[in-house]
Amino acid sequence: MMLTFSSNVFIAAFFLYSGSFMLYTIAIMGRKWSGRKPEEHSARFGRIAFIASSLGLLCHLAYFVTRWIGAGHIPVSNMYEFMTFLSMMVMVAFTVIFILYRKIILGMFAVPVSIIIMAYAAVFPQEVQPLIPSLQSIYLNIHVTLAALGESFFAIGFAAGLMYLLRTVDFNPKTGNRRQQRLVEFTLFTILVIIGFLGSVFAFRAGGYESVFVSSNVTIDSPGQDDSTIERVSYKLPPIVAPYQSDIERFQPFLGLDQPLFEAPSWMNGESAGRKFNTVLWSLISGLFLYGLLRLITRKPLGRALHPVLDGIDEQDLDEITYRAIAIGFPIFTLGALIFAMIWAQIAWGRFWGWDPKEVWALVTWLFYSAYLHLRLARGWQGRKSAWLAVLGFLVVMFTLVGVNLVIAGLHSYAGTD
């Protein structure tokens, strides 16, 4: 009963966030066509949008509390629970920054980050899972929650930094800096790749798609004796690439594709390596499709199409929001992702540091934002340099959360995938 209610309010939060995003967009985009003064139009719809996002956050908090009660432990123990928690923390960070700066346009860029993370969470199994022994610790609560809260402020810094670039880069094809234009365009394309991945997964899941491959592994224990194991790999996306040295058990054709185009290379040998490579290919294909469609609609690069939206926005405010968000998130992330993580690692595994991939990339993230603050405070890197670091830093965060869990095996591989 409690878990059912938790799922329902989570869905309600998703729709409220989506509605608030549309309202924030209307507040900014619709001011030119409104009969009212632009300031009055933005203020009215901005208030409604903030109320909607705040109601969504209340529903999200209700999801978190009721799932905690229903599960019997804090719901951050697998990828579904962690990503839903992270999306909630992004909205908490957005709400804090919005109250401080009252910039309505921030909702147009920050709220979609939370929505995308929520959608990504739905890719993973949603059932409540018992805690494995190493997770049965109070440090689970402290380490994961503080790390997620710190990363959520990095997400707001990313949104503000991207807004700064869209506001300040000259997108005129004749007078603008081509390198800056291309980098902004690549950043937007990267976001579309993530959205394309989510769209592909949900579309094929709704259609019930599945293809299955089998492979045999032979282990020779001694002369004349061997152990054979059969591995089955289920694909939820049409197999462009098959697992290394595998046979088709069941293949569901798609758009004339009745067999994989090629096999994963030998260095990708592993039960899920081919499937992960296939997922990367589908993400790129979907992202290219979305990018091409949007280019067809706007008939111009996406950066140039979004640039007029930020006309009249004070670029100094955006620079200040970027810095403040990261300055708030950095000490929180330091406590959660490093200090308490090391204490927990000592208790759970008998060592503070073990070069686990997740540990390494958490350290890389910390070093990157340390460099950001050093360059900002000691070297005076403000404006565009600071914005680019904020954007690149959050891409490092997302690789730590997504790439390490899904591509690189390690002690943090309890996350689970669907």
How many residues in total does the chain contain? 418
Contact 305, 119 (CB under 8 A): no
| Site of tokens 């095996």 | 409
Contact 55, 16 (CB under 8 A): yes
Note the pLDDT of residue 32: 53
Note the pLDDT of residue 414: 45
Contact 73, 34 (CB under 8 A): no
Degrees to nearest 5, angle at CA 365 with 195 and 316 = 75
Contact 388, 179 (CB under 8 A): no
- For the whole model, what pTM was predicted? 0.85
Bridge partners (DSSP) listed for residue 211 = 235
List C-alpha distances in Å: 401 to 54, 255, 354. Answer: 26, 33, 18
Contact 161, 322 (CB under 8 A): yes
Note the pLDDT of residue 30: 65
Tens digit of each residue's pLDDT, the chain (418 residues): 788 888 899 999 999 999 999 999 888 876 555 555 556 667 788 899 999 999 999 999 999 999 999 888 888 888 888 899 999 999 999 999 999 888 888 888 899 999 999 998 888 888 887 777 766 778 778 888 999 999 999 999 999 999 999 999 988 888 888 899 999 999 999 999 988 888 888 889 888 899 999 876 655 555 555 555 677 888 889 999 888 888 888 888 888 888 888 888 877 766 677 888 888 899 899 999 999 999 999 999 999 999 888 877 888 989 999 999 999 999 999 998 889 888 887 877 777 777 777 788 889 999 999 999 999 998 888 889 999 999 999 988 888 877 666 565 444 444 444 4
Note the pLDDT of residue 412: 46
List C-alpha distances in Å: 144 to 2, 73, 133, 247, 376. Answer: 23, 13, 16, 41, 28
Note the pLDDT of residue 41: 63
The kind and range of the H/E element at 318 are helix 315-333
Contact 106, 160 (CB under 8 A): yes
| Site of tokens 């890719």 | 123
Contact 27, 104 (CB under 8 A): yes
Picking from 128, 59, 163, 72, the residue whose alpha carbon sits closest to that of residue 391 is: 163
Sorted by sequence, the CB contacts under 8 Å of residue 333 that are 6+ apart come out as: 146, 147, 149, 150, 151, 154, 365, 366, 369
C-alpha span between 51 and 29 (Å, rounded): 19
C-alpha span between 249 and 254 (Å, rounded): 16
SS3 221: strand
Contact 80, 127 (CB under 8 A): no
Note the pLDDT of residue 93: 92
